[in-house]
A = this chain, B = another copy of it.
Amino acid sequence: MPPVSRLFHFCPRRRLNRPGEEAPMQNPKLQVLANTVNKLLHRDAYGPLRKILSKRHPAELAYFFRDFTPVDRKRLFENCGDDQVKAAVLGEIDLPVAVELISNQDPADAVHILNNMDSDDLADLLEELDEDLKEKLLKLFKDEDQEAVEELMAYDASTAGGIMNPSFLALPQTATAGEAVDFLQNSSEDYAITFYIYVINSAEKLSGVVSLRQLVTCKPSTTLRELMTPEVISVPVSMDQEEVAEIVQRYGFLAVPVVDDTNRMVGVVTVDDVIEVIREEATEDIFKMSGAGQDIEYFQDSFSERFRPRFTSIFFPLLTGVTSSLILAFRRPFFTDASGRNIFFLLMIPILLVLSSAIANQSGSLMVRGIALGRVKWAHFIEVFRRETAMSLMLGLLFGLFAFGFAMIPIFTRNGSASLQVVFPMFVGLTVFFSMLFAGVVGACLPLVFKRMNLDPASAAGSILSGLVEVFTILLYVFLISWA
Question: Interface residues, chain A, CB within 8 Å of chain B?
Answer: 12-24, 26-27, 57, 59-60, 63, 181, 184-185, 191-195, 209, 211-213, 215-217, 229-234, 239, 242-243, 246-247, 249-254, 271-272, 274-275, 278-279, 281-286, 288-291, 313, 316-317, 319-321, 323-324, 327-328, 331, 334-337, 339-343, 345-347, 349-350, 353-354, 358, 364-365, 368-369, 372, 374, 456, 458-459, 461-464, 466-468, 470-471, 473-475, 478, 481-482
Contact = CB atoms under 8 A, between A and B. Distances in A.
Contacts of A60: 250
A196 to B, nearest CB: 8
Contacts of A275: 249, 271, 274-275, 278
What's the number of copies of this chain in the assembled complex? 2
Interface residues of chain A: helix, strand, loop or mixed (majority): helix
B327 A335 contact: no
Contact of A286 (B234, B250, B286, B343): B286
Given A12-B252, A195-B254, A212-B213, A288 B458 contact: yes
Contact of A195 (B14, B57, B195, B232): B195
A374 B246 contact: yes
Given A217-B185, A279-B282, A285-B368, A249 B272 contact: yes
A231 B19 contact: yes
B184 A213 contact: yes
B462 A15 contact: no
Nearest to A324: B474
B281 A278 contact: no
Contacts of A316: 463-464, 467
Nearest to A463: B316
B23 A231 contact: yes
B463 A291 contact: yes
Given A275-B275, A475-B327, A251 B15 contact: yes
A191 to B, nearest CB: 6
B209 A191 contact: no
B24 A233 contact: yes
Contacts of A14: 252
Given A16-B229, A192-B211, A243 B368 contact: no
A28 B145 CA distance: 38
Given A216-B185, A478-B328, A462 B289 contact: yes
B211 A456 contact: no
Nearest to A218: B185
Given A17-B231, A232-B17, A271-B271, A466 B317 contact: yes
Nearest to A253: B15
A193 B211 contact: yes
Contact of A328 (B24, B328, B474): B474
Nearest to A478: B331
B20 A470 contact: no
Contact of A337 (B324, B331, B340): B340
